[in-house]
């Protein structure tokens, strides 16, 4: 397998092209000695249930997996907590206001963005919102709908970590 940093050819500190594989997690610059460790990017995923125990799902509006089911979420911004990140992503994609975000579990993932494989750590939250009836699809979401938990089919979710997370959520928390 190609080193995860193989697309990075120049040292980010000094610009040297002597930026070489140091070990399975890092590259090191032979010119200035700088070592860059490759760590996953943090991302959030929201499970939002309404008062009828239905799960809010999105239809992906963009690649990867455009047109498949998804859950609200996305990358955490710099200087943002995971809870702030999940609340912001939910607001950007659904217009809903998160009043409480409870961490559930995490799943490592590979996510292709602009042709680049991003290693992520997906943090799954169960989120409470102030009014689950007042939502609309925005940003990455082409459409939103609530599905009764007993009708949720994990195989319809296009991203691997989301599919695994939905299976785990259904098995551990709501069945």
Q: What mean pLDDT is predicted for residues 73-91? A: 97
CATH code of the domain containing 141: 3.90.79.10
Question: What are the tokens at 43?
Answer: 């991302």
**pLDDT value at position 3?**
62
Asked if 122 and 45 count as a contact pair (C-beta separation under 8 A), the reply is yes
Q: Are residues 97 and 137 in the same domain?
A: yes
Q: Are residues 132 and 161 in the same domain?
A: yes
Burial class (CB in 10 A: 0-12, 13-18, 19+), 52: exposed
Q: Are residues 165 and 99 in the same domain?
A: yes
Q: Are residues 108 and 150 in the same domain?
A: yes
Q: Are residues 89 and 114 in the same domain?
A: yes
How many structural domains is the chain composed of? 2
Q: What is the pTM of this model?
A: 0.89
Q: Are residues 169 and 120 in the same domain?
A: yes
Both ends of the chain: CA-CA distance in Å? 39
pLDDT tens track for 4-40 = 677 889 999 999 999 999 988 899 999 999 999 989 9
Q: Are residues 87 and 153 in the same domain?
A: yes
Q: Are residues 21 and 98 in the same domain?
A: no
Q: Are residues 95 and 18 in the same domain?
A: no
Q: Are residues 87 and 154 in the same domain?
A: yes
d(CA 81, CA 33): 32
Residue 156: C-alpha distances to residues 40, 68, 162, 166 (Å):
26, 6, 10, 10
Which stretch of 46-60, 88-102, 103-117, 152-166 has the lowest confidence by average pLDDT?
103-117
Q: Are residues 65 and 31 in the same domain?
A: no
Residue 157 has pLDDT above 80, yes or no: yes
Q: Are residues 25 and 56 in the same domain?
A: no
Per-residue pLDDT band at 121 (split at 50, 70, 90):
very high
Question: What are the tokens at 130?
Answer: 């102030």
Question: For residue 15, what are the domain limits?
Answer: 1-38
**pLDDT value at position 20?**
93
Residue 174 has pLDDT above 70, yes or no: no
Question: What are the tokens at 83?
Answer: 């809870």
Question: What are the tokens at 95?
Answer: 């217009």
């Amino acid at each position: 397998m190609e080193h995860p940093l193989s697309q990075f050819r120049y040292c980010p500190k000094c610009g040297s092209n002597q930026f070489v594989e140091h070990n399975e997690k890092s590259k090191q610059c032979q010119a200035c000695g700088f070592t860059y460790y490759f760590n996953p990017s943090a991302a959030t995923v929201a499970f939002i249930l309404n008062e009828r125990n239905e799960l809010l799902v999105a239809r992906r509006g963009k690649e990867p997996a455009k047109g498949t089911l998804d859950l609200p979420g996305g990358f955490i911004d710099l200087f943002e907590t995971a809870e702030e990140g999940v609340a912001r992503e939910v607001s950007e994609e659904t217009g809903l206001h998160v009043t409480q975000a409870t961490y559930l579990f995490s799943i490592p993932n590979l996510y292709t963005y602009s042709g680049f494989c991003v290693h992520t750590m997906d943090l799954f939250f169960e989120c409470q919102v102030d009014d689950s009836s007042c939502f609309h699809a925005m940003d990455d979401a082409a459409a939103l709908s609530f599905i009764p938990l007993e009708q949720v089919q994990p195989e319809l979710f296009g991203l691997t970590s989301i599919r695994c997370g939905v299976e785990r959520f259904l098995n551990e928390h709501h069945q």
